[in-house]
Amino acid sequence: MAPQQPQPQPQHQSRRRAEIAVTGIGVISPAGHTLADFWHTVSTARSTATALTDPELARHRVRLGCRVTDLPDNALVPAKDARRLDPFAHYATLAALAAHTDAGAPAPEAGRSAVVVGNAVGGRTTSDRESLLYAGHGPLRVSPLMPLVTMPNAAAAQIAMRLAWTGTALTIATTCASGADAIGHGALLLQSHRADVVIAGGCEATLTPVTLAAFGNLGAHSQRNGEPARASRPFDTDRDGFVMGEGAGFLVLERLADARARRARPYALLAGYGSSADAYHLSNPRPDGAGASAAMRAALADAALAPADIAHVNAHGTSTVHNDRAEAAALAAVFGPHAVPVTSTKGAIGHLIGAAGAVELIAAIQAMNTRLVPPTANHENTEEGLDLDVVHTAPRPIRPGAALSNSFGFGGHNSTLVVTPL
């Protein structure tokens, strides 16, 4: 029997609840490690994809990616401690602490804090390295720290320990929607008064030979090895798959009244969150985008907004054939054909997997606040039949209004966040 299609969640009246403010932002990405550097790279659509020179990749179908380079020195994560972290947890800790500092270092009662981290696979770099040691040298060469370093919750644990926050610490794994779901759940903790300050976001570091081999064999990753900077081409006729990236993005979330009471400087309001499951296939989305459109409608209803209130959509926009087509169908169903400016930051920074939803929400906040939508890097010709207004070639000024950010993951996980200006 064919599975039932997901039904859009019903619209509901806006209920009296706390408004949630974004008071701090931290990012570690292929595009830079400060908000200014990150936004400059994204807003100018400069691709960060490069050839990967790891000798293990010589025979691989995939030999390109968007790497994090030139990590900043950070006294809060001394070098000796960083060496005992897998890159995914290192990136997360740096970005989360940067967000905390950016927010003015809020200091809630320790048990009234929360850390919510989205991550898809945990310490892939370390697990691959230790597996090679086991294969080549036997079991005694495997580090006893491997289980602690590679566990997906290692990032949340590190952040909580660095801040001495003893409240909720969660790890959410919904593949490519993980970062967005972490932020959405962070807002729910604040609205239910289970926490007073939340640090939420996503992290990932999967640019390893084994992972790249798997995605190359799956046919999901671009194999444009000779021109990596042109490989990620969201919604473009000539796309041939996503380009994997790595990094982390974190936000500090607080109830707006609390933020104002301590004279914080909010960037935006996190107004809506919606999620759904395709219940369809492990890798392919529903071709009609029904699950994605259900998540968008739920987020709009949660924010008490209509589609016309959205001035810009930061699309999931992976640069894969099936995902781009399904998202295009979903966007047209919710907003109407060519009705809202759409961009994908993955053309510039690649697909950050579990970190993607958080880092791309940061880009959406910047676009909303500057009223300037960045162009989609490498997009030249929209595939025929995709009823989208894809911003490309040059940044586009937009009217004041809310922004919507989509994140869709393997397994049919769909997550949408809506932010509004103050």
Q: What is the CA 262 to chain-centroid distance, rounded?
A: 29
Structure tokens at 141: 């060469």
C-alpha distances (whole Å) from 142 to each of 128, 205, 366 are 11, 21, 44
Centre a 10 Å sphere on the Cβ of residue 288 and count the other Cβ atoms it contains: 14
Q: Are the CB atoms for 391 and 338 separated by under 8 Å? A: no
User: What residue ranges in 34-159 does DSSP mark as E strands?
Assistant: 50-51, 64-65, 113-118
Report d(CA 289, CA 297) in Å as an integer: 12
What are the phi and psi torsion angles at 382 (to 5°)? -65, 135
Is 392 an active-site residue?
no
d(CA 365, CA 419): 7
Question: Torsion over CA of 292, 294, 296 and 299, rounded to 10 degrees?
Answer: -140
Cα radius of gyration rounded to whole Å, the chain: 20
Q: State the Cα–Cα distance between residues 273 and 414, nearest whole angstrom.
A: 11
Catalytic annotation, pick one of 33, 176, 312, 392: 176
Q: Which helix (H) or strand (E) holds 187?
A: helix 178-191
Question: Which residue of the set 33, 60, 185, 351 is catalytic?
Answer: 351
Q: Are 150 and 326 in contact (CB under 8 A)?
A: no
Calculate the alpha carbon distances from 163 to 124, 184, 369 in Å.
25, 22, 29
Q: Is 176 assigned a catalytic role?
A: yes
The one catalytic residue in 90, 316, 392, 413 is 316
Residue 66: active-site member: no
Classify 258 as helix, strand or coil: helix
Give the residue from 401, 407, 416, 391 showing the smallest Cα distance to 370. Answer: 401
Which residues are known to be catalytic? 176, 316, 351
